[in-house]
Chain A
């Protein structure tokens, strides 16, 4: 397992180095847009972990000094399908953000939504060496988790211990120093398609940037979209993006499930384009300006010019009513939400103590979505906006930037993952100096 995490550890070290230098870039590679934020870490007011989330929600340490968005190209379903196109789009976004920040960034933390994320729940348990739980015991219990066979060509993106139990006491956040016999842990592991990750890494590398971290956008939009009590009591964040809809479930401030529905706003646009025989750009404009999900009597009389430039007068003068538009959009949104419902059911969402559902992402701005979602997903539905961070431009505060903002928070306060804990002693090479030191410590 250790070989698998070498790159993750390297990325973590690189992120630390970038934080020391004070500037890091955030790259949200989406299907419809690519957003780049440049963060500056002041280093001051670093939060104390033990105090939980404070008044500033742990974002007092950094500031957004550059932000840029560009239309995404070469990305479908949250995966890069055309390297050259995607590289140019990333270059555009990064350059504009750098220009705004007036500083060069070398390190990038990226997130993407596609690549078929799959969640696994792992558990492991070991006998504690001695009486107190030490770092080594945690390392051992983490390595004792039996990893399922997640298949060839997949890679672990997140592996977070979500719970520790000591003997019969469960729900421990930090068991170090506690006295007990049997230490067991639950871990959430998220695997994605390795090729998609490699493509993204390659793309970032071709932009002369270094990848300092990588995250799943379902996870990061959950971080920014859910408020603290929702994360604590159990909630699902549904990030309806352009090409994909990401679902993540949080409980006790840990993500316990994530999945992706490979449908999103682009499919609605495609339906409109197909239904009214208009170009994609026109369809997108109509969707944004006139889109809705609940038709009223008035919508029958509200006519929308859909235009065209064929030269045929009849064709170019076409009009549709808003009710027609709603009639096309609604089934697709229904379908997406049904899919989400299915994923939540599969994850056992109904067993959580609280079943709050937060809709975010660019497509959650469709009017009436919350009403429709509450019919399909349950009563506790709200629309979420990303929380405010320092220096974020007004243009980047809409629900479409939930993943970007979440990635900022993730960069500032990364959660401990498997590879951040100590490596158990017996995994070290036999002649390691660290092992010798450990032996001395154990025997004296």
Chain B
């Protein structure tokens, strides 16, 4: 048996449109568009359309906020109290004042770097570490500035630390009797040198009253009885040591001397009181033999 009508043989040729479509699909740019640009455009356009409505936007923002707070407000992340270590009471109080936190607060809401900078910004604080300790404690470790000298500035007394930074102003010199005093403009920039001078005073320590910065360039050591040792700009310590040596040798400072001028180190000069000058003249006259 053979079929009445032979089945029509399928034409292997693609139809014109199938051919064009296949060529289009083989175009690199078109394929890229289809694979990348189109999904992007659809996603972006859909999202834009959806968010075009204010209510949906609000809902979305609210949802995001809720989601965030549900994580942030967990018990594990809450900070309940603040501990300040290494600070005296007054400074600790200041720190609590400049960090207005009402506990409990989430650790996500604490900006530790900002807090640290705020604390370091206080005069009395040299450095600080801020961290959140386990157990919900905000731990603040403070290193305070140590005042080494009282500086009589233009208007008031100030405590200065070794780096010349103001620790705090004080009302009375008598509150800090153990600290040396210095005066004069620009003295705070040379605290280090001043401390060296004071430490090399040696036997003069008990007569020492203070240091004065003269003309923002050199030091005067002020002793009791208003005696002054005027030191040069450079080599001040050495000059001071020479004065001490002279004092030891001839007890110079015990005499009626107003000032020892060491500003020219090779030519120490003494200034003596008026009475002493007259006495000196008198003795000279006797020596010369002019006894009128």
Write the residues of chain A forming the contact surface with B, with a CB cutoff of 8 angstroms. Answer: 70, 88-89, 91-92, 94-95, 98-99, 102-104, 207-208, 309, 311
Interface centre among A91, A94, A98, A311 (most CB of B within 10 A): A91
Q: Taking the complex as formed, is B22 at the interface, i.e. its CB lies under 8 A from any CB of chain A?
A: yes
Selected contact of A95 from candidates B11, B22, B27, CB within 8 Å = B22
Whether A91 contacts B2 by the Cβ 8 Å rule is: no
Chain A residues with CB under 8 A of B114 = none
Query: Contacts A98-B26, A102-B26, A208-B20; is A92 near B2 (CB within 8 Å)?
Result: no
Q: Taking the complex as formed, is B67 at the interface, i.e. its CB lies under 8 A from any CB of chain A?
A: no
- A92, closest chain B residue (CB): B13
Chain B residues with CB under 8 A of A94 = 19
Whether A91 contacts B28 by the Cβ 8 Å rule is: no
Whether B14 contacts A91 by the Cβ 8 Å rule is: yes
- Smallest distance from the beta carbon of A237 to chain B beta carbons, Å? 32
Chain A residues with CB under 8 A of B74 = none
Q: Taking the complex as formed, is B8 at the interface, i.e. its CB lies under 8 A from any CB of chain A?
A: no
Query: Contacts A88-B11, A92-B12, A309-B2; is A104 near B20 (CB within 8 Å)?
Result: no
A354 CA to B12 CA in the complex, in Å?
A: 46
Query: Contacts A91-B19, A207-B19, A309-B2; is A104 near B14 (CB within 8 Å)?
Result: no
Chain B residues with CB under 8 A of A311 = 2
A311 CA to B4 CA in the complex, in Å?
A: 12
- A93, closest chain B residue (CB): B13
Can you offer 13 A-B residue contacts whose CB atoms are under 8 A? Answer: A88-B13, A89-B13, A91-B16, A91-B19, A95-B22, A95-B23, A98-B23, A98-B26, A103-B26, A104-B26, A207-B19, A309-B2, A311-B2
Whether A104 contacts B23 by the Cβ 8 Å rule is: yes
Chain A residues with CB under 8 A of B12 = 70, 92
A89 CA to B11 CA in the complex, in Å?
A: 10
10 additional A-B pairs beyond A92-B12, A92-B13, A311-B2, beta carbons within 8 Å, are A70-B12, A88-B13, A91-B14, A91-B16, A91-B19, A95-B23, A104-B23, A104-B26, A104-B28, A208-B20
A92 CA to B14 CA in the complex, in Å?
A: 6
A311 CA to B3 CA in the complex, in Å?
A: 11
Selected contact of B22 from candidates A70, A89, A98, CB within 8 Å = A98
Across the A-B interface, the 10 shortest Cβ-Cβ residue pairs: A88-B13, A104-B26, A92-B13, A91-B19, A104-B27, A104-B23, A95-B14, A91-B13, A92-B12, A95-B19
- Smallest distance from the beta carbon of A56 to chain B beta carbons, Å? 29
**Interface size classification for chain B:** 10 to 19
A208 CA to B14 CA in the complex, in Å?
A: 14
A332 CA to B23 CA in the complex, in Å?
A: 43
A102 CA to B27 CA in the complex, in Å?
A: 9
A99 CA to B13 CA in the complex, in Å?
A: 14
Chain A residues with CB under 8 A of B27 = 104
A147 CA to B19 CA in the complex, in Å?
A: 43
- B26, closest chain A residue (CB): A104
- Per-residue 0/1 for B18-56: is the Cβ within 8 Å of any A Cβ (1 yes, 0 no)? 011011001110000000000000000000000000000
- Smallest distance from the beta carbon of A106 to chain B beta carbons, Å? 9
- Smallest distance from the beta carbon of B119 to chain A beta carbons, Å? 67
Write the residues of chain B forming the contact surface with A, with a CB cutoff of 8 angstroms. Answer: 2, 11-14, 16, 19-20, 22-23, 26-28
Chain B residues with CB under 8 A of A103 = 26, 28
- A104, closest chain B residue (CB): B26
Interface centre among B11, B19, B28 (most CB of A within 10 A): B19
A207 CA to B2 CA in the complex, in Å?
A: 39
A89 CA to B12 CA in the complex, in Å?
A: 8
A70 CA to B2 CA in the complex, in Å?
A: 29
A160 CA to B214 CA in the complex, in Å?
A: 106
Chain A residues with CB under 8 A of B20 = 208
Chain A residues with CB under 8 A of B2 = 309, 311
A233 CA to B13 CA in the complex, in Å?
A: 44
- B19, closest chain A residue (CB): A91
- Smallest distance from the beta carbon of B127 to chain A beta carbons, Å? 65
- Smallest distance from the beta carbon of B139 to chain A beta carbons, Å? 65
- Smallest distance from the beta carbon of B5 to chain A beta carbons, Å? 14
- Smallest distance from the beta carbon of B32 to chain A beta carbons, Å? 13
- B22, closest chain A residue (CB): A95
- A102, closest chain B residue (CB): B26
A92 CA to B22 CA in the complex, in Å?
A: 12
A235 CA to B137 CA in the complex, in Å?
A: 100
Chain B residues with CB under 8 A of A102 = 26
A70 CA to B11 CA in the complex, in Å?
A: 12
Chain A residues with CB under 8 A of B23 = 95, 98, 104, 208
Chain B residues with CB under 8 A of A70 = 12
Chain A residues with CB under 8 A of B16 = 91
- Smallest distance from the beta carbon of A92 to chain B beta carbons, Å? 4
Chain A residues with CB under 8 A of B22 = 95, 98-99
- Smallest distance from the beta carbon of A372 to chain B beta carbons, Å? 35
- B20, closest chain A residue (CB): A208
- Smallest distance from the beta carbon of A74 to chain B beta carbons, Å? 11
A110 CA to B27 CA in the complex, in Å?
A: 22
Chain B residues with CB under 8 A of A88 = 11, 13
Interface centre among A95, A207, A311 (most CB of B within 10 A): A95
A88 CA to B11 CA in the complex, in Å?
A: 9
Chain B residues with CB under 8 A of A98 = 22-23, 26
Chain B residues with CB under 8 A of A91 = 13-14, 16, 19
Chain A residues with CB under 8 A of B13 = 88-89, 91-92
A238 CA to B16 CA in the complex, in Å?
A: 36
- Smallest distance from the beta carbon of A283 to chain B beta carbons, Å? 18
- Smallest distance from the beta carbon of A87 to chain B beta carbons, Å? 8
- Smallest distance from the beta carbon of B3 to chain A beta carbons, Å? 10
A170 CA to B113 CA in the complex, in Å?
A: 92
- Smallest distance from the beta carbon of A231 to chain B beta carbons, Å? 37
Chain A residues with CB under 8 A of B28 = 103-104
A169 CA to B27 CA in the complex, in Å?
A: 54
A300 CA to B13 CA in the complex, in Å?
A: 42
A208 CA to B115 CA in the complex, in Å?
A: 72
- Smallest distance from the beta carbon of B251 to chain A beta carbons, Å? 102
A24 CA to B19 CA in the complex, in Å?
A: 18
- A89, closest chain B residue (CB): B13
- B24, closest chain A residue (CB): A104
A92 CA to B11 CA in the complex, in Å?
A: 10
A27 CA to B234 CA in the complex, in Å?
A: 99
Chain B residues with CB under 8 A of A95 = 14, 19, 22-23
Chain B residues with CB under 8 A of A207 = 19
Interface centre among B2, B16, B23 (most CB of A within 10 A): B23
A20 CA to B16 CA in the complex, in Å?
A: 28
Chain A residues with CB under 8 A of B14 = 91-92, 95
